[in-house]
Structures are given as structure tokens and as C-alpha cells.
Structure 1
Amino acid sequence: MKALAPPLRQIHLHQIFYDEATRAALDPGFVPMDNLANARPDWFEYWSIRRFFLGSVLNENDLYGFFSPKFRTKTGLSAEAVRQFVGDGTASRADVYLFSPVWGAACYFRNVFEQGERFHPGLLPVSQAFFDAAGWRVDLRQLVMSTRTTVFCNYFVATPRFWRRWFEVGEALFRIAEDPGHPLARHLVTFTAHNPAANIYQFKAFLQERIASFLLCVEDWNTVACDFSALPDPLWPAHLQRDLLVLDALKMSYVDTGLRLFIDEFDRRRSGS
């Protein structure tokens, strides 16, 4: 008997808009997600995604993605490019498809929490305190992430099964941050550096943005990353990109084999010794 082909998966791609300017700039290939009210700007995209999950029933065979208005600017990708990459999922049947910008950071840093600490000082200890409070016994400094497990800006498409895990952790963060009586809450809502303009971002926003990477690193998920080397990354000059790819490969080899020599070589090359 001929084996049955897996069912086709519908791809639901949403893009959030906050005002008339971002609505006018929407990619027509995305489903518009209205956040004109912007009731909780402190939660950024999470507020819109949260409202979606609280009020929607997901099809278990389908894939879902939620993108900010800056998706095209940050990645150079259109909705059609995302849709073509994901396809109907019959080739890989992946749980998560990654479209992260600034891929050089995914190569250079050991993980997104180390990277976050560099650009948002104080994020790593706050993140560690949250995962400790949520019952995870993980030393964030020791996690090793590569471009296969790194997500920036929540730019990914995934199955409902993964989104549920993501939302579960996100809601744990939401409950603590929203509870003024919780000892960790004041740290989560503390403002931190992000860019020279102003410190208008709280730690909770940067931690929330790293939940997907955390889950992909500590749990078993099948991921497929787009050709990240073709994406723009203004933070890393072209002459360094070959070295970045070597760093990424060393981290992948360490994760695949568990052999210390790979992560030791990663550390040695990164330090320039």
C-alpha cells in the first residue's frame, strides 16, 4: 500500500501595526494584526500575540508566525519569501522555522543571554533569577546556542505545540512582572540600555524576546533556519563573516557531540588567543 503523504499545513503569517504609518507600511502578504489601541506598549509585540492566543483556537496541523512592522527592514525578507521557505512543511516537517536578523551575534556569542548582557547590562542576572523562580535549574551562562537555536525579535514560524510552550513560559514571565508583590517584579520592570536614543525598554521585554531561544536550546525541537548569511547584518563587517561561520560551526559541533574541544576552540578563537 502506498504511504499516505502528510497533510498539508496552512501557514498563518501575521504582522502587527501600531499606528497609521505602520499600517500603511504592512507587507500585503501578511495578515494585518491591529494594535492601534496599544494598551500595553511596555510589552511590545508580546501584548498582541498574547491577545491572539487568549482568544483563538489553533489548528494543530498548521503553522503560525507573528512579525513586527520592522520585519522587512531587519531581514530583507518579504512575506512571500517566508512562505516559500516554509512551504507546506512536507520536506522537513519542522517544529520551528527561523528568520533571525543580526545572525553575526548568533555566531559570536555563546548564547542570547550573554549577547543580551553585552547590550543590555543586567539582563543576564535578571533572566537567571526568572528561570530560577519559574522552576528551571539551568545555568544560563553555560548554554550553547548556534544559528540553529537562536531567535531574535520573535521572528519565527512554528507549530501550535511549540507556541504553547513559548506561551506557557511567556505567561509565567507576565504573571511575575505584573505582580508588584513578587520580589522579582521590580527588576523585570527596570529600564535598561538599548540604543543611544533612550532607555525606554524594560528588562522583561528583552527577556521575553529570548524565550524561544531558551526553549530551542534546552528542549528537543526540530528547527530549520533560513539562509541567514544572505540576510543583512550591519553590525558585522563582511571580512569577519567567515570567522563568524567558523565560530557557529564549532558551537554546533559541541552541541552535537558534547566534546569539550569544540567549545574550547570556540572560546580560543573568539578571544583571539
Structure 2
Amino acid sequence: MNVKIYQIFYDEVTRGRLDPGFIPLDNRDPQVKGWYEFWPILNFLNNQKLDEGDWYGFLSPKFESKIGLRSEDLVELIEQNSSRADVLLLSPEWDQISYFINVFEQGELCHPGLTSLSQNFLDSAGIEIKLDRAVMDCSNSVFSNYIIAKKDYWERWREYANLFFEYVNLRSEYNKEVGGIFYSTYPMKAFIQERLASIVLTKTAFSTINVDQSEWGPVNTFLFEDSQETRKLLRECNELKSQYRRTGDGLYLSQYWDVRSKVNIKDLAFLSNKQ
């Protein structure tokens, strides 16, 4: 088993931030613009043969600052868990994954219109999932493409990503810069592509492990109060969604909505007006 983790850089500044334990992946002159991490990952997968049993990852220059792990920590974590999982999830937004029913509801808050555009693509591609009903938790959701996985996962991701790339190139609405609470200078396609991983993990039963950040990881204080009570309620939300996904028992989903209603989330309309 080998661990092959690439770290993407865009210029000499970001190259200087790379962890020397990762493999540099040059994206200084991308063949297509506006895709950010998506393009170098897809380009690599379309042109390289992956080895069975090996782990692959493609991380941004901000990885350590967001997660707090260096390359040696990550390799050790993978080696400890390689025999019991196919996918390692390292999403920095554990709080939002826990609170929202899925990453598309969260995306709709931040970038209005994201859900319908995502659903249009899925319907066109024949990927049967209804985003207004999909339940996602920390075991099948990730942001920022912070995912390390074996060959089977990346082959499925590549399949979806190629379909999305071709679909978007024909439709201008995916390429326009979008507004939202947190970002306003990126095209919608950039925010949809980072959610493809969660689609893959929802549609295919990969065995996953994730780094539990609920005790120490950051809470987004634009949305939530960073308190022990908030963390407790968010952990409960995530666990109830997980129980629902495992059992299909609607009681867990009802309990999730009840617990979620107790989370003190800030006035989102006010936040939107401040942009």
C-alpha cells in the first residue's frame, strides 16, 4: 500500500506554502479557467492509471491551516485505518455538515440557486438522487475536496466529474459569478463541483472514516455561537442523521429536526443584507 497525496499550487506564493511531505501538483497554467482544484484533479485522473490498494488525495495549499494536520500525521492516520476503510474524510466544516440536512441545503444558503442547478445536472446525467430529501452526515459529506481515497472511489468521482464538466461547458448559468453570504467572486460551478464527492458517497456504499472535529474544530461564528451547548446539539444532529441513514427509521429524522430547532443559529437574513 502506498499513500500518494498531491498538493495543488497556483503560483510561486502558493508553491512556497506546500507541505514537503506531499507531491506538488502544478496548476499555474490551467487549460480551463474558473475550476480551481477541480481541474487539476480531473486532469490527473483522466491521464494517470491508479493502482489498486493505494490511497490518493488532492489537497489545496490551505490544507494544514484548515485542518491542522501535516503530511506525516495524515499518512499515519491512513496507515492505521487502511484495512477498514476505502475513504478518509477531512472536511473542515463539521458544524455545517451536522446542522444542515445535506451539503446542498447549506450551499443554497450561501449561494442561492445552487440546489436547482445541481439537480438539473443530476437529472440530465441520470444520477437518481433528490437533493431536497437526501440525508447527509459527517460519514458521507465533505467540503473543499479534502478526501483521501482508494481507486474505486476516484473512478466513480471521475465519471461524475467528466459528466459535469461537459454539461457545464454548454450552459452559461454555471459560469457566472454568484452572490452569497461567504463568497461572491466565484462561478457557481466551483461550489457545485466540491459537492460531487458527497453525491458519490451518497450513491455508492464506500466504507468511510472521518476525523471527528466536534470537540476542538472551529465553529462558524457567522452562523452559530461557539459554545459547548452548540457543539453538543450539533453532535446530536449528526448522530441522528447517521442513525436514520443506517436504519431508515423516520423517528430518527423527526428527532433530528427537533434537535436542530434548538440550535441557536444567527439571523441569516441580516447576514445576507450585510454583503
Give TM-score scaled by structure 1 length: 0.89
Deviations 1:82-124 (A, max 9, x none): 11111164541x1111111010011000001111001111101
Aligned twin of 1:187? 173
**Superposition pairs for residues 193-208 of structure 1, below 5 Å?**
193-194=179-180, 199-208=184-193
Question: Structure 1 residues 204, 53: closer, same or farther in 2, change over 3 A?
Answer: same
Q: CA separation in 1, counterparts of 2:216 and 2:196?
A: 22
Q: Which residue of 2 aligns with 1:119?
A: 110
Give the whole-Å Cα distance in 1 for the aligned partners of 2:215 and 2:76.
Answer: 15
**Aligned 8 A contact 2:161 2:193 in 1:** yes
CA contact (8 A) 2:215 2:231 kept: no
Q: Is the 8 A contact 1:95 1:223 kept in 2?
A: yes
2:166 to 168, 175, 178: 175
Find the counterpart in structure 2 of residue 135 from structure 1.
126
- Give the corresponding residue for 1:59: 51
Farther-moved stretch of structure 1 (231-240 vs 14-23): 231-240
SS in 1 for 2:214: helix
Q: Tell me the number of residue pairs that the alignment of Structure 1 and Structure 2 aligns.
A: 258
Shift of 1:233: 1.8
Q: CA deviation at 1:192?
A: 1.4
5+ unaligned residues in a row in structure 2: which ranges?
Answer: 264-275
CA 1:25–1:195 in 2, change beyond 3 Å: closer, same or farther? farther
| CA gap 1:127/1:56 in 2 versus in 1, 3 angstroms | same
Q: CA deviation at 1:25?
A: 0.8
Per the alignment, do residues 192 and 151 of structure 1 end up closer, same or farther by CA in structure 2, a change over 3 Å counting?
Answer: same
Counterpart in the other structure of 1:44 = 36
Deviation of the 1:178 alpha carbon: 1.4
8 Å CA contact retained: 1:10, 1:88:
no
Structure 1 residue 191, shift from structure 2 partner: 2.0
Q: Which moved more, 1:127-136 or 1:51-60?
A: 51-60
Q: Is the 8 A contact 1:250 1:266 kept in 2?
A: yes
* Pick aligned residue for 2:25 from 7, 19, 33: 33
Task: Give the 5 Å matches for 1:43-122.
Answer: 43-87=35-79, 89-92=81-84, 94-122=85-113
Contact 1:85 1:226 in 2 (8 A): no
Instruction: Give 3-state SS (helix, strand or coil) of 1:224's partner.
Output: strand
Seq. identity, %: 37
Q: 1:268 aligns with which of 228, 237, 258?
A: 258
Q: Over aligned residues, Cα RMSD in angstroms?
A: 1.7
Which amino acid is 1:176 matched to?
Y
Do 2:3 and 2:75's aligned partners in 1 also have CA atoms closer than 8 Å? yes
